[in-house]
Copies of this chain bind each other. A is one copy, B any other.
Amino acid sequence: MDAKSLIPFFSAKGVAIIGASSKPNKLSYGIVKNLTLYGYQGGIYPVNPGSAEILGLKCYPSVGEVPDPVDLAVIVLPAGQILQAIDDCAARGIRAVTVISGGFKELGEEGAALEKQVLALVKARGMRMIGPNCVGTMSLHSGLNTTFISGIPDAGGIGFLSQSGAVLGGVVDLVKGKGIGFAHFLSLGNEADVTETDVIEYLGADDATRVIAAYVEQIRDGQAFIQTARQVTRKKPIVLLKAGRSEEGARAVSSHTGSLAGSHAAYQAAFRQSGVIEVDKMGELFEVAQALALQHLPAGKRVALITNSGGPAALASDSLAVNGLRMADLSEATRTELRKILNPSAQVANPVDMLGGAEPHEYEAALRLAAADPGVDILVPILVPQALVNPVEVAQKIVAAAGETQKTVIACFVGDALVAEPRKVLHAGKVPMVVYPESVGTVLGAMIRYADWLSRLLEGADIFTAVDTNRAAEILGQQQPGSVLGEAQTRPLLAAYGIPLVAGSQAASPEEAAAAAVQLGFPVAMKIVSPDILHKSDFGGIRLNLKNKGEVEQAYLDLMKDTSLRKPGARLEGVLVEAMAPKGQEVIVGMRRDPGFGATMMFGMGGVFVELFKDVAFRIAPLTRDDAWEMIRSTRAGVLLGGYRGSEPADLEAVVDVILRLSQLSVDFPQISEIEVNPLFVFPRGQGALALDCRAILA
């Protein structure tokens, strides 16, 4: 993307409002008004042939007559007039348009067709467009506000983008007046041209934006998102709320966006691989973003709670445990100093409970002592406002102490009206404040996840050069689209990419089978080969432990007879004769192609572990070696195979290898829509892994 093309949306020198109305009950009037209200210094040019002036501003009959400087147009016209308006803007030299109007894809086929025409025109004229069907954008530092939303949030470091205009409006009311600061605030509507990924890339390079927050319903180009987010998150955090995580939520999203959403498993995988911090509650989105915008990242997970009451501290401790943090052990020296300055009845272990009457100076002193303790990474002052202590003064002292430490400080002030002023003081002093003790852990957990991400090396995808791409292409070329490939047909594909297979070969007669068995060495297994029988085991199409030629020949005849009896007409292509592998730990490695993200790799232990315990991990291909390791480790299967409670560690390196090779095969051949190694037998460390069965489906 040419990021420069988006500049006018964030810092236009002049804005034309096409379709501006002089009637105060019209949305376009609201837009003109908002442009005048918040200190915007550029030109404001209402365009409407029916008015001479609006809100004291000269109104132009057409955009062609708007004077310099003008580099952004906001269009609020009926859908049918948009094409003309865009053409007019192009003629006037305007290259950026925000289309507020609805009446496009969100209304069905006809609207979608019009949206396509609009997009084609925008592209033909070399323009960029936000929308259609959006509520505009705000840049809080410049006052550029093309929305009709009443009120604005405070200015600050959060860049927020929303795929829902209503959510954007609701959020303004939620955050207003709380000292939660925004750099930019964008509604992207139907994203016909400018997408969430474009904006994330832009905000990634924007100096005013310290943290990107996003409300997302759908990501259309998953691979582009991952590439962009992986780069941006090295520089600043992305906090994201995704709607449609459940099947029913996804249906709700797709019914109102008119498009098919990918699976949430794929979304989650993409977020993990690109360092995006996913939250699952609207209430958490800005708590987390604000904390990341204001505070230092934690250097560790040890938290000191400094409180005037035990209950909220206990609730905060609970939330720490759930979110992977822990209570710091305060040093004896720290405790001694605390004892000197606090009420003799105060408790100087962690939580430091200074009792209900704790004064502002006690908060400050206790925070300084805890900050100086090398066993503490994070400081959490907690206050429940008390009758005789001024909470604003407590906030001021917390700000003073926080300003002098590099450690992370998050305040929890329990209340509503009583904590409104203290919140402003804290936020102005760069100390994020939460209201509920349970939020302490949520916010810190998210910060820790981001810090962990930054500590990971950003390596490239692992590419195996010794794979036989030509052979794989040849095999796939022989297949019809939509084919289902059984084990016999899938094995050579896997072999071409170096995935270790149990030794075996196909045979079309009892004699061939016996000869194959002799070559493999006894005992052997025998499996029916038929395009009409995919679940060989369920069908009874497998014979194990055949010990000599006679058994092999007999098994061949039995299998053929059985099959033609039980499934008359099934196409029989012979059998696979395979060596009996020693028993290993069984895992599944697979790939399913997601409509939004492409090849999505899967790892799990199979059987009830995947189905009943949902112990399975996904990642989007191409995978880095680190991704593959992290994928395995994120499952309990990975813990088990890694040598749980003294059991012998399995050869996870070999599993990583299979995952990466299958990932590469899936990326190289988009016509494979599903492929699975199941089971993959994994042997003790150093002894490798073997694919015991496999199958694939072509697009």
A235 at the interface (CB under 8 A from B): no
Nearest Cβ on chain B to A362's Cβ, whole angstroms: 15
Instruction: Name the B residues within 8 Å of A281 (CB-CB).
Output: 436, 438
CB within 8 A of A170: which of B253, B305, B385?
A: B385
Q: Are A438 and B282 interface neighbours, CB within 8 A?
A: yes
Of all chain B residues, the one with the shortest Cβ separation from A284 is B438
Q: Are B315 and A243 interface neighbours, CB within 8 A?
A: yes
A310-B176 contact in complex given A107-B345, A247-B321, A385-B170, C-beta closer than 8 Å: no
Instruction: Name the B residues within 8 Å of A27 (CB-CB).
Output: 387-388
Q: Are B170 and A608 interface neighbours, CB within 8 A?
A: no
A173-B415 contact in complex given A167-B384, A388-B25, C-beta closer than 8 Å: yes
Q: Are A314 and B169 interface neighbours, CB within 8 A?
A: no
CB within 8 A of A311: which of B215, B437, B639?
A: B215
Nearest Cβ on chain B to A322's Cβ, whole angstroms: 7
Q: Are B415 and A170 interface neighbours, CB within 8 A?
A: yes
Of all chain B residues, the one with the shortest Cβ separation from A386 is B169
Nearest Cβ on chain B to A345's Cβ, whole angstroms: 5
Instruction: Name the B residues within 8 Å of A356 (CB-CB).
Output: 165-166
Q: Give per-residue flags for A142-184: 1 if the beta carbon is below 8 A from chain B beta carbons, else 0.
A: 0000001110000000000011111101100111110000000
Of all chain B residues, the one with the shortest Cβ separation from A388 is B25
Q: Are B314 and A249 interface neighbours, CB within 8 A?
A: yes
Q: Are A320 and B385 interface neighbours, CB within 8 A?
A: no
A246-B317 contact in complex given A385-B170, A414-B170, A608-B640, C-beta closer than 8 Å: yes
Instruction: Name the B residues within 8 Å of A222 (CB-CB).
Output: none
Nearest Cβ on chain B to A486's Cβ, whole angstroms: 23
Of all chain B residues, the one with the shortest Cβ separation from A166 is B309
A244-B164 contact in complex given A353-B256, A613-B636, C-beta closer than 8 Å: no
Interface pick from A119-127, A416-424, A511-519: A416-424
Q: Are A256 and B313 interface neighbours, CB within 8 A?
A: yes
A136 at the interface (CB under 8 A from B): no
Instruction: Name the B residues within 8 Å of A248 (CB-CB).
Output: 317-318, 320-321, 326-327
* 8 Å CB interface, A418-469 against B: 418-419, 435-438
Nearest Cβ on chain B to A173's Cβ, whole angstroms: 4
Of all chain B residues, the one with the shortest Cβ separation from A107 is B345
What CA separation (Å) do A353 and B417 show in the bound complex?
34
Q: Are B282 and A315 interface neighbours, CB within 8 A?
A: yes
A275 at the interface (CB under 8 A from B): no
Q: Are B436 and A311 interface neighbours, CB within 8 A?
A: no
Instruction: Name the B residues within 8 Å of A310 (CB-CB).
Output: 164, 166, 217, 252-253, 255-257
Q: Are A252 and B317 interface neighbours, CB within 8 A?
A: yes
Q: Are B149 and A252 interface neighbours, CB within 8 A?
A: no
Total identical chains: 2
A611 at the interface (CB under 8 A from B): yes
What CA separation (Å) do A386 and B165 show in the bound complex?
10
Q: Are B611 and A613 interface neighbours, CB within 8 A?
A: no
A590 at the interface (CB under 8 A from B): no
What CA separation (Å) do A7 and B503 show in the bound complex?
83
Of all chain B residues, the one with the shortest Cβ separation from A253 is B314
Of all chain B residues, the one with the shortest Cβ separation from A325 is B248
A351 at the interface (CB under 8 A from B): yes
What CA separation (Å) do A113 and B280 show in the bound complex?
49
Nearest Cβ on chain B to A530's Cβ, whole angstroms: 23
Nearest Cβ on chain B to A112's Cβ, whole angstroms: 13
A131 at the interface (CB under 8 A from B): no
Q: Give per-residue flags for A235-255: 1 if the beta carbon is below 8 A from chain B beta carbons, else 0.
A: 000000101111111011101
Instruction: Name the B residues within 8 Å of A645 (CB-CB).
Output: 611
Among A169, A176, A177, A217, the most chain B Cβ lie within 10 Å of the Cβ of A169
Q: Are A438 and B280 interface neighbours, CB within 8 A?
A: yes
A50 at the interface (CB under 8 A from B): no
What CA separation (Å) do A199 and B611 show in the bound complex?
45
Beyond A164-B310, A246-B320, A612-B636, 6 additional pairs, beta carbon < 8 A: A166-B310, A170-B312, A243-B315, A243-B318, A249-B318, A252-B317
Q: 7 A-B Cβ contacts within 8 A?
A: A166-B310, A166-B356, A166-B386, A249-B317, A255-B351, A282-B312, A283-B283
CB within 8 Å of B: which residues of A? Answer: 25, 27, 30, 107, 148-150, 162-167, 169-170, 173-177, 215, 217, 241, 243-249, 251-253, 255-257, 280-283, 305, 308-315, 317-318, 320-322, 326-327, 345, 347, 349, 351, 353, 356, 384-388, 414-419, 435-438, 608, 611-613, 615, 636, 639-640, 644-645
